Chains A and B, each alone.
Chain A
Amino acid sequence: MESGSDKGTGGFSAMDDYETLISTTDADLLKRSWRNEKAAPEILQFESSLVERSRAQIQLMEETVEEFMNSGEDPLTVSLYQMDIDRTVFLLRSYLRTRLQKIEKFMFHIQKTADLWSRLSRQEQKFAKRSIEDMEKHLDQSVLSKLPDWYKSHLKQSGTSEEDDMVTEPKLDAFVICRSRKFVGGLPVDDRQVNNMSFYKKGWGDYIIYSKVKMKKKLDKFCGEENPLDMYAGDIYALRYKSIKPLIESGQLDLV
């Protein structure tokens, strides 16, 4: 499958040490992308080269299995190979399907945001375009054409709306659960720290990381105040998606 851009996959390699790189198979990468895509509120960059490699592998394996069948290989071996193919096919399908669900849900938002649009593969862009056309037509025929001019837009509630307030957007403020792959220090937990924004107001600023649920005893002292946050390898946290978005994109954190 071709992609509208080729930014995908490379994201992981930049930060991974050599060791994890050579021990990571495409099956693992696909699993990770699938989990991230399923758990993230917005659509992520399409993993074009990974998807392409997985498709090639599936095809290759299917040919191998066919050869086995023709050459009278042990049926047990054949069925094990088939199971392995089925598992990979499931992951790939579910990954693509999760993306289509997101596209259907946020199509108008994705369309008007160039950054999001470029995350889709070419096929997905085609799909999005067609869905948008159909949805516009449907809304127009069933409701909007019968309303006064003031209310005819499918993007705005009425002519007074300054912005497109009828467009479903992903909730980037949503909390997600993520696991760190290795130590991540000084994690900015609060959005205001990321952007260093000016609307930080005194009195609202005393955000505390509270952690009572934990596994490692040595971290007992951790509970209470600590800002910013240090995550050790394997730690699992519920955090706001917006504040950790770059870390997911760079592959330092996985969504679980």
Chain B
Amino acid sequence: MSGQSDPRGSTFSAAELEFLAEDETIEIVPNLRMERLSLICGDFGPFRPQIATQVPIWLAVALKKRGKCTIRPPDWMSVEKLTQVLEAERDSASSFEALPFHYVEISRLLFDDARDDIPDVYMVRSLIEDIKDVRFHKIGTGLEKLSSRTYAMKLNLSAMEVNVIRPFVTGGLETFYKLGNPDLIQESSDRPQHRRPQPADRGPRRELRR
């Protein structure tokens, strides 16, 4: 099936992250009459014209594409809120503002399919772009703190941001862990030397194949 991430990497693909974000709920105002939907992922509706209701984003987008509803963008997606967030992000060098876990994916989905439902869509869009840039710059600076003494790293970021820095963070921490592993150092001194050094039963393994 398309959209599967690389089997060797444990990271999620962008399409898979979008898939996860599509399960977040959003408010819509339907313009059709439809009975309650009893889906595997939950019950939604009944849908009555002009009566707002909560549905998952994938359902909202499907209805929107057929012109059957308007989507109410979430509170955080207003020019006012986003301006505040952007200012706060710029003010602090190390802390991050609270945004939904899937803010990048949600805003992208709504920009693609519900442009006319977002007030000041160009402004909102450029604000989100700016916020993304500021945050990534801070993340980059934060990652410089990674060192051999790092045993855990707090990453209260959004899904997409975590996914982007994952290979670097996990790879970096792993390498530091290997280099700092006391077992490896003991290993070389108190084991008799074989014709060919054998990998230790503890500690990181040498990649023999590939």
Contacts and interface: CB of A to CB of B under 8 A. Distances in A.
Interface residues of B, number: 70
Nearest to A218: B95
B152 A174 contact: no
Interface stretch (B2-10, B111-119, B121-129): B2-10
B200 to A, nearest CB: 10
Contacts of B75: none
A238 B59 CA distance: 33
A160 B195 contact: yes
B84 interface: no
Contacts of B156: 213-216, 234-236
A8 to B, nearest CB: 19
Given A215-B96, A220-B95, A31 B173 contact: no
A50 interface: no
Given A25-B41, A213-B139, A177 B169 contact: yes
Contacts of A131: none
B157 A213 contact: yes
Contacts of B152: 189, 209-211, 229, 237-240
Interface stretch (A10-18, A81-89, A110-118, A141-149): A81-89
Interface string A219-256: 01011000001000011111110000000000000001
A173 interface: yes
A56 to B, nearest CB: 11
B9 to A, nearest CB: 10
B41 A238 contact: no
Contacts of A40: 10
A208 B159 CA distance: 26
Nearest to B207: A168
A52 interface: no
Contacts of B50: none
A37 B32 CA distance: 40
A126 B198 CA distance: 33
B41 A213 contact: no
Contacts of B186: 199
Nearest to B98: A215
Contacts of B169: 175, 177, 238
Contacts of A190: 151
B162 A207 contact: no
A215 B95 contact: yes
Given A77-B37, A236-B162, A210 B150 contact: yes
Interface string A86-130: 011010011001100100000000000000000000000000000
A137 B142 CA distance: 50
B97 A215 contact: yes
Nearest to B3: A90
Contact of B58 (A28, A38, A87, A212): A87
A94 B20 CA distance: 13
A198 to B, nearest CB: 12
A58 interface: yes
A184 to B, nearest CB: 12
Contacts of B145: 210, 212
A67 interface: no
Nearest to B172: A175
Given A175-B169, A214-B96, A229-B152, A166 B40 contact: no
Contact of B62 (A80, A158, A168): A80
A135 interface: no
23 contacts: A25-B41, A27-B41, A27-B42, A35-B12, A38-B10, A38-B12, A40-B10, A61-B39, A61-B40, A83-B59, A88-B40, A97-B4, A162-B198, A175-B170, A177-B166, A189-B151, A210-B150, A212-B142, A213-B138, A213-B142, A213-B153, A238-B155, A240-B151
Interface of B: 1, 4-5, 7, 10, 12, 19-20, 22-23, 32, 34-35, 37, 39-42, 58-59, 62-63, 66, 68, 92, 94-98, 138-139, 142-143, 145-147, 149-157, 159, 162, 166, 169-170, 173-174, 177-178, 180, 182-183, 186, 194-196, 198-199, 201, 203-205, 208-209
Given A94-B4, A214-B96, A220-B95, 15 more contacts: A26-B40, A84-B37, A84-B41, A94-B1, A157-B196, A163-B198, A165-B199, A174-B170, A177-B155, A210-B146, A210-B150, A210-B153, A213-B142, A213-B143, A213-B157
